[in-house]
Amino acid sequence: MILEGKTWKYGDNVDTDVIIPARHLTTADPKELAVHCMEDIDAAFAVNVQPGDIIVAERNFGCGSSREHAPLAIKGSGVTCVVADSFARIFYRNAINIGLPLLELGSDAKKIQAGDTLRVDLAKGIVENITRGEAFQAQPLPGFIQEIAQAGGLVSYVSGVRK
Amino acid sequence: MAMTMTEKILASHAGLESVQAGQLIKAKVDVVLGNDITSPPAIAEFNKIGRPVFDKDKIVLVPDHFIPNKDIKSAQMAKTLREFAHEHDITNYFEVGRMGIEHVLLPEEGLVVPGEVIIGADSHTCTYGAVGAFATGVGSTDMGAAMATGDTWFKVPSAIQVNITGSMPKYVCGKDVILTLIGMIGVDGARYQSLEFTGPGIANLSMTDRLTIANMAIECGAKNGIFPIDGVTIAYLNGRTKKTYQAVSADSDAIYTRKIDIDLSDLTPVVALPHLPENVKAVRELPEISIDQVVIGSCTNGRIEDLKQAAVIMSGKSVHPKVRTIIIPGSQAVYLEALEKGYISTFIKAGAVVSTPTCGPCLGGYMGILAAGEKAVTTTNRNFKGRMGHVDSEVYLTGPAVAAASAITGRICGPEEMVK
Ligand code: SF4
């Protein structure tokens, strides 16, 4: 699958408390969560994010609480993919499980700036920065995780494959 | 092939002779845990799969985060959890009045034992590494799927060896050990890895210290933190658990990616400054920082030994007039014991508030939310921006003795000041 979109750029250690603060955890509806997504570090995000946009961050994106509400909020805001230097492990699992694609890009993530337009080839793990004419190769997803991602998440995978 | 403790436990639960770091496996789980925030989405996913629960004795459901219900929406979530528990006849559902903060409650009830694989839809599930189990946090979908299948997938983590020697000086506690370690390696220093604690110093750490240390393994990104099974573990489990268990130990030639030495005798009380648990400084090196609130409790430091440390400091003293002090025993059993030992009356006489067990303020839920510009000293585990309230508030993480001393003086200070 090829995704193309404008980027929102964040730094190191973006934690799930700022992706979606606990005060909004009285719902698990992605659309309701999306209204508050990132509000504690970037009030402009929820207001201006467009369907198809891509989040790019640096090290340890999604650290902290295991709340699946964090990838749900991002997905609910219309973001199609998150690219980062590295991800915290529970966030990584959760995103795969709910069908939010992720790509781990290592330190190349630093070279992408806010507002750049990216073209992302998920299967090949290639991130092309159209604005700057650069291309980067991400770590490919392990085969088994690709299967979960292709099934559209863990529940479809479990219901389909293992019945 | 030589294996770490984590590798051995994962191999046995995957039905394999051996596993190695990086390998993807499917493993059976012994306990699946959820709370009032993470379970409702897990239940929705579980229902989509359309199978019965894999084992009603192996699912543990604890309403603790927004409990007793803080508002109508949290009441609805708690109701979802309660009705699911009743419908599926879940053995270990803990109603208000019998509950505690999940990671205080499960070890206390003997529901987690050595050698088990435990997943919980809560990042601090890693706490149970203290009793020698492989325990890790997952999301709601993982929890929902595991409630149906009884298994889950893991990537076997590589391991960091934390070699502990010496014994802790007075006023140093488990919290100082783990904060010091996080300060050394950073909030992603153990990302995707296992922290395996070894060394002669472990014998000098109580189960309370170990639970606090394992609890915060996630704060340096670790998948799990695990302690060897020794006399302290067995003494803790005796009379507490009905489960049988097998002691697992690491092979002497197990492979670690890194070794970190911590001499407990070198430690001093520390504090993690806002807004990351890695911003660790010795309390005595801090400038004067006046505070508005103190919280003593949580899954990190809400056990009886923690309350005792605070009570010793606060006994016969008064909370500073500008400070609100909130004490939250981690479970009903801790609450009762604190009452019987006189700690509760010490706290109330000192001018503190004592609450029923709840996560409440730890995650900015309720029972002590911070206003803009306010500063809190707390014994919880996270000081991210906005964690306990307004985005412009500040959270300073410490152990119970420092928190209690700071409540009295109104500024962050070490417990030695109290006894001068
Ligand atoms: S006390 Fe805090 S960290 Fe522990 S389970 Fe509750 S919210 Fe999470």
How many domains does one find in chain B? 2
Q: Three-class SS of residue B393?
A: coil
Give per-residue pLDDT as tens, A107-153: 999 999 999 999 999 888 999 999 999 999 998 777 788 788 778 88
B50 and B72 part of one domain: yes
pLDDT score of A161 more than 70: no
pLDDT band at A163 (very low <50, low <70, confident <90, very high): very low
Which residue is closest to A94 within chain B, CA to CA?
B139
What local confidence, expressed as pLDDT, does residue A146 receive? 79
B59-62 and B117-120 as β-strands: parallel, antiparallel, unpaired? unpaired
> At which of B264, B289, B313 does a domain end?
B264
Q: Is there a single domain that holds both residue B255 and residue B168?
A: yes
pLDDT (0 to 100) of residue A147: 84
Q: Which residues contact B217 (CB under 8 A, 6 or more apart)?
A: B126, B129, B178, B190, B195, B224, B225
**pLDDT confidence bin for A14, thresholds 50/70/90:** very high
Answer with the one of B215, B245, B264 that is the final residue of a domain. Answer: B264
If asked whether residues B249 and B310 sit together in one domain, one would say no
Burial class (CB in 10 A: 0-12, 13-18, 19+), B26: middle
What does the pLDDT read at residue A1? 81
CB neighbour list of residue B51: distance below 8 Å, 6 or more residues apart: B148, B149
For residues B64 and B137, state if they share a domain: yes
CB of B380 within 6 A of ligand 1: the answer is yes
**Residue B217 beta carbon below 6 angstroms from any ligand 1 atom:** no
What is the pLDDT, as a whole number, of residue A151?
84
Q: Is B235 exposed, middle or buried (0-12, 13-18, 19+ CB in 10 A)?
A: exposed
Extract the runs of DSSP E, i.e. beta strands, from B97-209. Answer: 117-120, 134-137, 151-155, 159-165, 194-198
Please check whether residues B28 and B130 belong to one and the same domain. Answer: yes
- Give the closest of A63, A72, A159 to B221, CB-based: A63
Ligand 1 binding pocket includes B381 (Cβ within 6 Å): yes
Q: Please tell me if the CB atom of residue B328 comes closer than 6 angstroms to any atom of ligand 1.
A: no
Q: Which of A40, A44, A23 is nearest to A32 (CA)?
A: A23
Same domain assignment for residues B207 and B356: no
* Residue ranges for chain B with pLDDT beneath 50: none
Q: What is the mean pLDDT of residues A94-102?
A: 93
Same domain, B197 and B343: no
Element (H, E) at B345: helix B343-350
Minimal CA separation from A47 to chain B, in Å: 18
Taking CA A147 as the corner, what is the angle to CA A144 and CA A153, rounded to the nearest 5 degrees?
A: 115
Q: What is the pTM of this model?
A: 0.96
pLDDT tens across B309-336, in order? 999 999 999 999 999 999 999 999 999 9
For atom 5 of ligand 1, the residue with the nearest CA is B299
| CATH number (domain holding residue B337) | 3.30.499.10
Q: Closest ligand 1 atom, CA of B381?
A: 3
A90 and chain B in contact, CB less than 8 A = yes
pLDDT at B181: 98
Please give the structure tokens belonging to residue A71.
């990838």
Residue B93, token pair as written in the block: 């559902």
Q: State whether B253 and B314 are in the same domain.
A: no
Does a cis peptide bond (omega within 30 degrees of 0) precede residue A36? no
Structural contact between residues B293 and B370, judged by C-beta atoms closer than 8 angstroms: yes
Q: State percent of chain B over pLDDT 90.
A: 98
Tokens of B209: 């210290």
Residues above pLDDT 90, as percent of chain A? 82
CA angle, A143 then A81 then B141, to 5° = 65
Q: Are residues B378 and B280 in the same domain?
A: yes
Q: Tell me the mean pLDDT in the region A55-83.
A: 97
Q: Specify whether B59 is located in the same domain as B22.
A: yes
B173, B216: one domain? yes
Per-residue model confidence (pLDDT) at position A162: 46
Q: Is B309 helix (H, G, I), strand (E, B) or coil?
A: helix
My answer on whether B365 and B288 are in the same domain is: yes
Whether residue A58 has pLDDT greater than 70: yes
B419 touches chain A (CB under 8 A): no
Of A69, A72, A158, the CB nearest to B145: A158
Omega before A30 cis (within 30°)? no
Range of the domain at B201: 5-264
Last residue of a domain, one of B215, B236, B264: B264
Average pLDDT along chain A? 93
Do B403 and B368 meet the contact criterion of CB atoms below 8 Å apart?
no
